Amino acid sequence: MKLLNQTLENIEGITIDPNGRVRERFDSLAIPSGSLGRLEEFATIYASIKKETFATIKHKAVFTMAGDHGISRENVSAFPQEVTGQMVRSFLRGDATINLFAQHVGARVIVVDCGVNTDFQSVEGLRIKKVDYGTANMIHGPAMTHEQAIESLEVGIEVLLEELSVGLDVVATGDMGIANTTPSSAIISCLTGEKVKKVTGKGTGLDDSGWERKVRVIERVLEVNKPDPSRPIDVLAKIGGFEIGAIAGLCLAAASKRIPVLIDGFVSTAAALIASAIEPKVNNYLIASHVSAENGHLIALEKLGKKAIFDLNLRLGEGTGALLGLSLVEVGVKVLTQTATFSEANVSMPELKNLRKES
């Protein structure tokens, strides 16, 4: 709890472009004012978090948090639980989709065993921070103890702090855990007040009858555990997952170090809701990468007040969408910091009367 409290104390509020210098810089570039649309928005957020107009992106990492879930015993996923461990090994071999995406954007992959129901040997790229061998089956009671919920949050804090010495300018979140859209749906229903049916999707490919069973299971989970939405750690403990807690902790730790976070899909956004409920100031450090195919993702993003960068109907997780979003943020930052100004390019400035009026 001490590490969590210290982290929360170090999170500062953010004002977007407080002195207007980022806007002034964009207006000086040899391009029509506002012509790059939301790329300018992403760069402005990044520069504001860093408190530096010419802040660059050199060190990028995706943290793929892995954990198993006791609720998988209720047949809420199309895949068996052992797939979690199998996919972790694939990440470590470097032949999974997340590895390809990371290579494409020049990011390193950090895989974290937060609570996988198998043991791994210590290898390069793996952080073993196991809270337990999967959560309890939350249809019968809490997924974890209060102490384990705090431990999972501190796992996310620890792994970020450990990576600082290597260099870390921006982070992307990712997840791996069979059945983890079930606790994510429960969390989103609890924290948004929306009905379970409205926020629950088919996960990794359930058919209609499987989806209906999943909805009934989540409704029962909420009835049995009665998580208190005003107490986010209680929500995490009763209906969450170890990797969800770790992603939330990562968000908190990144904010405490003024590091922007690209949040991935449905599971990462559920974790972001937990983090923002614990400390609302963290919200301004979060950039929503995409809208996934899961039913409740857009609802969760609306609760956070986030407009996603893109919608490609993704639903893989692992951090894939977050890395694609990171690539667009980086393009915006490069435009801000590297594009020639009108004077440098020897291009005539537009007439003042034709400049876009700022609101």
- 213/336 Cα distance (integer angstroms): 50
* Ranges assigned E (strand) in the chain: 60-67, 108-115, 126-128, 170-176, 261-263, 286-288
Separation between Cα atoms, residue 45 and residue 36, nearest integer Å? 15
Class of domain 61-328: alpha beta
What pLDDT is recorded for position 204? 75
Low-confidence ranges of the chain (pLDDT < 70): 351-359
14-50 tens-digit pLDDT: 999 999 999 999 999 999 988 999 999 999 999 999 9
- What was the pLDDT predicted at 351? 66
- pLDDT of amino acid 348: 80
Which pLDDT belongs to residue 196?
A: 97
> For residue 344, what pLDDT is reported?
87
CA distance 102 to 60: 9
Please answer whether residues 299 and 273 qualify as being in contact, where contact means their C-beta atoms are separated by less than 8 angstroms.
no
> Would you state the pLDDT for residue 84?
97
Q: At what angle do helices 232-239 and 146-163 cross, to 10 degrees?
A: 100
Q: What is the pLDDT of residue 342?
A: 87
Question: Structural domain boundaries of the chain?
Answer: 2-55+335-354, 61-328
Residues 6+ apart with CB under 8 A from 286: 251, 260, 261, 263, 272, 275, 276, 304, 306
Predicted pLDDT at 256 = 98
pLDDT at res. 355: 52
Q: Looking at the domain that runs over 2-55+335-354, which CATH code has it been given?
A: 1.10.1610.10
- The predicted pLDDT at position 257 comes to 98
Which residue in the list 163, 194, 318, 330 is annotated as catalytic?
318
Which pLDDT value is given to residue 358? 47
12 is annotated as an active-site residue:
no
Q: What's the burial of 352, exposed, middle or buried (CB within 10 Å: 0-12/13-18/19+)? A: exposed
